[in-house]
Amino acid sequence: MKQALIASIAADRLTWLASVCAAALALGIAAPAAADTLVDNVQGVTIDEEGKIDRFTGLWIDDDGKVKLVLKRGDRRPSGVDYLLDGKGQYLVPGMIDAHAHVLGIGFAALTLDLSGTASLAEAQAKIAAYAAENPGRRWIVGTGWNQEKWGLGRFPTAAELDAVVSDRPVWLERVDGHAGWANSAAIALSGANAASKDPVGGRIERTSGSREPSGIFVDEAMGLVASKIPRPRPEDRDLALQEAQNIMLRSGVTAVADMGTTIEDWQSFRRAGDKGSLKMRIMSYAAGVEAMELIGGPGPSPWLYDDKLRLNGVKLYLDGALGSRGAWLKQPYADDAGNVGLPSMNSSQLRNLMSRAALDKFQVAIHAIGDAANSEVLGAIEDMSGTYQGDRRWRIEHAQVVDPAELALFGRHGIIASMQPVHQTSDRTMAEARLGQGRLAGAYAWNSIADTGARLAFGSDAPVESVDPFAGLATAFTRTDAAGQPFGGWQPQERVNREQALAAFTYGGAYAGFAEGRFGRLVEGERADFLLVDRDLLLSSPEEIRSLKVLQTWVGGERVYDSAGGERGN
Ligand SMILES: [Zn+2]
């Protein structure tokens, strides 16, 4: 790497650049945030206007962090750029866009103590003690994932066994299935549960043998006695979770994300990061309900803030639950639960009222719909409303997991965005077969059929429900197989999309779904230079190779924000 400063540069800018360079050099990464940059000698790809692959070998980035020129092999290179990155023949792809994730959820999940890998009580205790020591500022120690069966304990653990490792603060650890929690004495004291407490309806307070004293285990409805005492995250906790989530996403190759369900507190955290200059990824925000939407956006969607790093686009609404818990709303009963069709979370007029409330002020509407009845209801509501709310609305259906094949065409007719998460298909397939039965799989996770209607696909992860890794999603999208290559030939393989479509849905599709096309998502003149250097060719590697792809560097707006060799930049 070499760098050359233009002689005619203004003196103050020169000083500033020099200090940036000095700071960057100290970090072992030498990319000034604002200067003309030439990224050269790369094998670059992007999605063009027609959704086809366009190849190039260099990018000239201006001092606003936008692509000034895409350079092909043989094109004359500009002279006198401030900074040159020699890609040494590496592969360059657009930054991945995750069209559906929960940003602070990712951060909080990563910051929570995870006991799922522990094989004995002693191992869990050691891990808890170490975590408490590493996190002296945390008022509560909260964790998940323990399983006394896996420990070979033959009984539940006790408060005393937790007190032995952490007694200075309350500790609350949920069992792996979420149906029981383990508290230490400090947490029990705060819960108010004691020998005189009755078990709540639908729950049980485990007692120390030979007495009525709580033993430390709270089952089902009794869990709330302790869990309700955990303080809400403070602003600084949220800021920490945001930085954690951002680090995870940037090193995974995700440069922009749609945050599905932003609260006012989340938004304030995003804003604080933007104000401080520590917001390095792009967030397209969908408020957690109409009330949050009005609080955050006021009279309409926010402007694009911080050089296209943040915008409130609209609102996220829920119409049903999930297939796994049989909360998804189906047209016909569950194949494995006759008489149960799931449940809508609101009725038709409530849904239409909320959609109208948002659409009236030009907020974009994103609706969670899993079951075919829920999708049918949303499609019908969009059809009813598209006369009233004309123009470019880009109604979004989140997940669109099970759609009546007869209704698929509505996606194309109304330009609906199908915001889908390929990895859900592999995680869910056995469960989906059980819930739906073989006869009702035709419209399930129907990526290709939906794309064929002319609708726009936007792919994402739903992290932290699934891993953030966009390359696992990409490999799944064109194979319909999981990490183990199962099932052979792919599940409902006619619903695969091709590699170009998959890449488009993880880049340009996500930008379009968030009204960000022209700003970022593609590596073309005038768009933000958000890109990755990766260690293999996305278009030629096998699905297995793509799953083990390594992100070498992540750049957002012409600034290097992650370097696998030099750690990440930021804060
Ligand atoms: Zn979600």
CA–centroid distance, residue 101 to ligand 1 (Å): 6
pLDDT at 319 over 90: yes
- One DSSP character per residue, 65-127 reads SBEEEEE-TTPPPPSS-SEEEE-TT-EEEEPEEEEEE-HHHHHHHHHSEE-TT--SHHHHHHH
More confident residue, 445 or 17: 445
CA–centroid distance, residue 22 to ligand 1 (Å): 41
CA–centroid distance, residue 463 to ligand 1 (Å): 7
End-to-end CA distance of the chain: 25
Instruction: Give the mean pLDDT of 282-300.
Output: 98
Q: Strand order in 214-220's β-sheet?
A: 113-114, 141-146, 171-175, 180-183, 214-220, 203-207
CA–centroid distance, residue 428 to ligand 1 (Å): 15
CA–centroid distance, residue 465 to ligand 1 (Å): 7
Question: What does the pLDDT read at residue 51?
Answer: 83
What is the enclosing helix (H) or strand (E) of 211? none
% of the chain beyond a pLDDT of 70 = 93
pLDDT at 571 over 60: no
Instruction: Give the mean pLDDT of 78-106.
Output: 95
**What is the band of 567 on the pLDDT scale with cuts at 50, 70, 90?**
low
Give pTM, 2 decimals.
0.87
Rounded Cα gap, residues 361 and 359, in angstroms: 5
Collapsed DSSP state (helix, strand, coil) of residue 167: coil
Rounded Cα gap, residues 492 and 444, in angstroms: 9
pLDDT at 10 over 80: no
pLDDT at 18 over 50: no
- Three-state secondary structure along 338-351? CCCCCCCCCCHHHH
User: How does DSSP classify residue 534?
Assistant: E
User: Half-sphere exposure of residue 57, counting CA atoms within 13 Å on the CB side?
Assistant: 9
Rounded Cα gap, residues 200 and 192, in angstroms: 13
Instruction: State how far the alpha carbon of 466 is from the alpha carbons of 222, 425, 473, in Å.
Output: 28, 11, 10
CA–centroid distance, residue 460 to ligand 1 (Å): 9
% of the chain beyond a pLDDT of 90 = 86
Rounded Cα gap, residues 442 and 492, in angstroms: 8
CA–centroid distance, residue 415 to ligand 1 (Å): 22
Instruction: Give the mean pLDDT of 538-550.
Output: 97
CA–centroid distance, residue 370 to ligand 1 (Å): 11
Render pLDDT for 198-230 as a digit per residue (tens, 0 to 9). 999 989 999 999 999 999 999 989 999 999 999
> How many other β-carbons are positioned within 10 Å of the β-carbon of residue 479?
23
pLDDT at 34 over 60: no
Render pLDDT for 128-172 as a digit per residue (tens, 0 to 9). 999 999 999 889 999 999 999 899 999 999 999 999 999 999 999
pLDDT at 546 over 90: yes
Question: What does the pLDDT read at residue 152?
Answer: 93
pLDDT at 294 over 90: yes
Q: Which two tokens stand for residue 154?
A: 């033959």
CA–centroid distance, residue 261 to ligand 1 (Å): 8
Instruction: Give the mean pLDDT of 542-560.
Output: 97
CA–centroid distance, residue 462 to ligand 1 (Å): 5
Render pLDDT for 402-440 as a digit per residue (tens, 0 to 9). 999 999 999 999 999 999 999 999 999 999 999 999 999
Mean pLDDT of the chain: 92
pLDDT at 69 over 90: yes
Residues 6+ apart with CB under 8 A from 364: 286, 301, 313, 314, 315, 358, 393, 394, 395, 396, 514, 515
CA–centroid distance, residue 200 to ligand 1 (Å): 31
Q: Which two tokens stand for residue 336?
A: 């494995």
**What is the band of 35 on the pLDDT scale with cuts at 50, 70, 90?**
confident
CA–centroid distance, residue 100 to ligand 1 (Å): 6
Q: Which two tokens stand for residue 433?
A: 């077969």
Rounded Cα gap, residues 308 and 281, in angstroms: 10
Render pLDDT for 327-376 as a digit per residue (tens, 0 to 9). 999 999 999 999 999 989 999 999 999 999 999 999 999 999 999 999 99
CA–centroid distance, residue 71 to ligand 1 (Å): 38
Instruction: Give the mean pLDDT of 232-249.
Output: 96
